Structures are given as C-alpha cells and as structure tokens.
Chain A
Amino acid sequence: MFVVSFAMPQVKYLQYTFSTLGFAKNASVIKLQPKKASVAATPAERKLMAELDSLKLQLEEMRKLNAQLMASQGDGSMSVEKQAELAKSLAAKADAERKMKAAAEESQAKQDALMKQQMEIAAKIASGDLSAEEKAAMEQEQAKLKEQMAAEKATAQKNVESLKKEVSAIDSQVNSEVWCDCPSIGCLTFSYWLAMPCSLMLGTLRS
C-alpha cells in the first residue's frame, strides 16, 4: 500500500484581490444612462387621489372652522326660513359638484385615450423594428399627441376652475348661513363624515 499525498499550491488571496480590483476598475469606467420608471396612474387611482385630496382639504378647512366655533358661542337654534335657504344652497352646491365631476371624468377619458395612443407609439419606437423614416413619423405623431394632451389638460383645468369658483361661492354662502346660527356639533359631525371616506379610500388605494 502506498500513501500518496498531494500538496496543494497556496491559495494566493492577493491574486483574487488583484483580479477583483481589475474587475472594479473596468466597472468604474462604464458610463450609465439612468432613466426613471414611471407608470400612468389608473383612472380609478387618479379619481381616488383627487377625491382624497379634496376631502383632505375640506377636512382641514372644517377643522379650522371647528376651532373657530369652539372659541365662539352659538345658541344652537336655526329658523325654518334659514333652514330652507340652506337646503336650497346645498342643492345648488351638489348640482355644481355633479357638473364638475362629470366634466372631469369626460376630460379624463379623453386624456386616457391620448395616453394610450402615446404609449403604443412609444412601444413601437422602443421596439427598434422601425426604419428611420417610420421612426421620425412616429415621433412627429407622438409630439402631436402630447400637444393635444396639454391642450385637453388646459381646457379641463379651466372648466374645473370655473366650477370650483361656483362651488366656493355657494360654500361661503352656506358657511355664513350655518355659522351664524348653528352650533359646533354640526361641524364636528361633518368632519366625521369626511374622515370616514378618507380612511376607506386609502384602503382601496393600497389594494
């Protein structure tokens, strides 16, 4: 029986260190072109975000008013005429808000369609299957769509602004009617009903 022992060469860590440093040296020369990834918010997400924002604003306003009311005094009564006036104002407000919502939805649908077209064109350009002429034409088309989108956004913004003004005018009227006669309880109740949908919507967004 023979016993043969093989002595391994030493493991030269420095060889590995040198090769690792070489690897790193090459890496440090490489130039990158970072780009950001983004995705269009879905119509549902956008709608919820808009509603959430407006509710947050309203909640904030209510909190402020509530604080003011808590500081002041009210006798807790409201005349029948005042109540009728208030109901009328609230109905007008609801109507204006309905119009605003419908206008926003209509504009959103148009914007979504334009966005979809843009994404399709972008995908075609990115595929690299197009000739130079086709690519140029696509890019021209893309620019046109972007312009249309900007115009649509501007129009929608204008419409929403004018309707917001209308709502805001009614709001101030309602406020003057309510806060002259109504106690702080109404305000607190309203705050509660605003806070509830906020939390419900956040749950929907997360899912």
Chain B
Amino acid sequence: MSVSIQVCIRVRPFSVPNRLGVLMEQTGPSDGEVTLLNSTYTTTRFGFTWSWWSAYGWERNCDERDHADAERMKLVNQDNAYGTVGVLIKKDLMEGNAVVIFAYGLSGSGKTFTVFGPDAIDIPEAWFKHETPHPLWGVFPRLAYDVFKLKEDTWKVILKYFQNVIDTVRDLMSPSCEERTYKEGMRKDEDGFMDILWCQSAMLDDWNHLRSTFKQANSKKAISPTQFNHQSTRGHCIMTLECNMPSPTDPAMRQRGRVYVCDLAGTEPAGDIVYASYSKQKFPDGTVEYKYKGPHPDQTKTKNLQNQGKKINLSLSEMAQFFMKMAGAIKAKKLKPGKSIPGCNSYFLCKYLKDTMLQARTYLFCAIRPEVCVGHNVLCSLAALTVHV
C-alpha cells in the first residue's frame, strides 16, 4: 500500500514588527491551507495536511491592518501539535514501521522547536531537563516519553545521534565527538535503510537514561547565533530511535520500529550571515524573546558561519531538486510508489535520506515566518565598509 508524505506547515512568532505574510487555516482533520498575504505572487493558496498558526504574541508585532486576519487563526501549541501528528507517529512506530520526521525551513523559523522543543544546554526550559511532560516539549520528547511508558522488559530501545557539518559527520554519541568524512561507512542495512556504521549507539533503559544520554550528545552539537536565530543549528542533525520488540504475530521474529528525526539546518542568505550577539527579554505573559544586538566583533567566527551556510544551502538545494524531479516524474506517471530517481546524491543529506524516506512513513514539518520582510534596520548595520585611500 502506498502513502504520501504528510506535510505540516507551521508559523513561528513574529521577531520584528511587520505586515502579516500568511494566513493559516485548518478546514478538516487533514485539510490544511496556507494563503500568502500582502504578496505579489500569482499563486497564493497551498493545500497541505496540516497548517498551524503558532505565532504567539502576534499582537505585539503584527501590523494593525492585519489584526483581523490574525484573530481568525487558531493558535496551535506544542501539545496540540503532538495530539494531531505525534499520536499517528507513535502508532506507526509501535506497529514496527520506520518513520522519518523531517523539519525544513528558513533559519530560525522553528524547526528544532517543533521536533524537539527548546534544546540549548544552557537554558532551564531545555526539554531534556524535565523529567515529566513540559508544555514546550516538541514532538520527539513526547513520543519518547510515551514509548518508555509502554516499554516492556523484552524491548530494546536504541539511540543514535549525529550531525553533518559541511563534509563531515560528527558522532554526537561518541565521547570524543568523533568526526569522519560523510561518505565513510554510509551503508544500507539489511532492510534497505541507510545507516552510518561507525557512529555509536546506546541502548536505553528508561526515559531518564534517554534524557541524560541526549543531553550529553546535544552539548556536542554545532550551534551558533546568527542574526536570524540565536541558536542556529549549523548542520543537519539526524537522530534515530529504534524500538526492537518481539513481533506480536510471529514469535520467531522481532520488529524494529524506528523513528528518524531529521532536524535540518535552515536555509539562509549565506553570504550575509553574521555571528551575532543577542539579549534575552522576558515578558509578563511568560514568553521570552531574544533581541538581536548586532554582529560579534570577531570576523573569523562570521567567516566560518558563511562557509557552513554555503554548504547547507547547496545540500538543501539538492534536496529541493530531488523533490521537484520526483514530483514531476510522479505527476507524469513515470515513477512507481517507493521508487527513486537516479542522481541527487552529491551531498550528505540526499545521499542519506532519499531512499530511507521513500520506504518509511514520512512526516515533513515545514517551518515558516509570519512576516512579509525584514527592513534595513536589521541588516544594513552589518554592511558598513570603510575604505582608506
């Protein structure tokens, strides 16, 4: 039986005062619609499985002319998100399926927040610092928490976590944070799912074991502040959680349900990216905003980020190309379900993911921003150049 990729579009809160760029509506359980506002595009309506408006605090920054539209939209929090999609993912996993959760979008648009929740090691709201469910937990912590509640003594739960930074893979589970070229050890396992053989895995006993293991691994993740995101993930992060359990139908077999959480690095204007400084601002309603102060004085930090950004964009472009070609071939009825097209494996991302996601149940979370544009005040200050003659 063939299925389609389930797509969810989610809008993050405003970061600057601006006109509203999108209208998000959910007309049925799996009928979401996104409409572009204040745009000059000819195509403005897009249909997806889910369309979520999560721009909490929009009243502070949304232009008054758009308040009527903003008021029409129902806010979706982390709990609602899991209640809609997470339960489906849990069912798939418990039935022994491979599930790919895959977050895509502009840098700072809320990909990591959707799949994990806050995950910076230095903040108290980080998901792995909470033993019991927290309102800011993303899809994965809620899923894992539920899995461990169901776990029986005969189950094995195995975690693997790594990050692709430029042309290397960094094993976040390895104590020495081992890095190797991304092509090394990338093989399909006996079921046809891609794996990186040399990356370490950990067998987890319980929820707290997962939290501590993840916390340790996550501290090795490459994150930097840019003008778009105070915690920009500087490479594609892939975490796999395998639930190996006796098959309910055949005692001689064990089913290996697994979830691949792919938190992709964001697309960004790589040439303009800067290593940024931020200040944290708390509001009476409990929300926290990070205000961009300006670029960091150390230019080498900026240079490194720009190099990473270029590679990130190239790999994401390849993924976009892959989807475009696949969609074209499917529309032309030249491709059977689950079959792939040749090529599109020059960068880590496509090479690792393309075959795996075609034989898994794939959920794509696309994160977008609510604003139409960001004015000169955010970026122009970066571009002053003094020339001595």
Contact = CB atoms under 8 A, between A and B. Distances in A.
Given A1-B389, A10-B376, A35 B192 contact: yes
Nearest to B272: A8
Contact of A14 (B36, B98, B153, B386): B36
A41 B375 CA distance: 60
Contacts of A5: 380, 383-385
Contacts of A202: 153-154
A201 to B, nearest CB: 9
A18 B258 contact: no
A44 interface: no
Nearest to B205: A206
A22 B387 CA distance: 42
B342 interface: no
B75 interface: no
B327 interface: yes
Interface stretch (B3-11, B78-86, B132-140, B216-224): B3-11
A17 B36 contact: yes
Interface in A1-49: 1-8, 10-14, 16-41, 45-46, 49
A80 interface: no
B123 interface: no
Interface residues of A, number: 52
A206 B153 contact: yes
Interface string B359-381: 11110101111011111101110
B154 A34 contact: no
Contacts, number: 225
Interface string B332-367: 000111110000000000000000011111101011
Contact of B379 (A8, A18, A33, A119): A8
A123 B9 contact: no
A206 B339 CA distance: 36
A10 B375 contact: yes
A26 B319 CA distance: 11
A46 B389 contact: no
A126 interface: yes
A46 B246 CA distance: 10
Contact of A205 (B153, B338, B360): B153
Interface stretch (B53-61, B173-181, B249-257, B301-309): B249-257
Contacts of A1: 386-389
Contact of B253 (A24, A32, A40): A40
A184 interface: no
Scoring A14, A16, A30, A41 by chain B CB atoms within 10 A of each residue's CB, the highest score goes to A30
Contacts of A23: 104, 319-320, 323, 366
A66 interface: no
Given A6-B385, A37-B96, A39-B254, A32 B337 contact: yes
A32 B41 contact: no
Interface string B219-263: 000000000000000000000000010110001111111100000
Given A8-B383, A37-B96, A13 B326 contact: no
B17 interface: no
Given A34-B361, A39-B244, 11 more contacts: A12-B372, A14-B372, A16-B368, A20-B105, A29-B326, A30-B358, A31-B2, A34-B3, A34-B98, A205-B153, A205-B154
Task: Pick the 9 closest A-B CB pairs, nearest first.
Answer: A33-B338, A31-B337, A37-B191, A26-B327, A26-B323, A29-B327, A37-B256, A6-B383, A202-B153
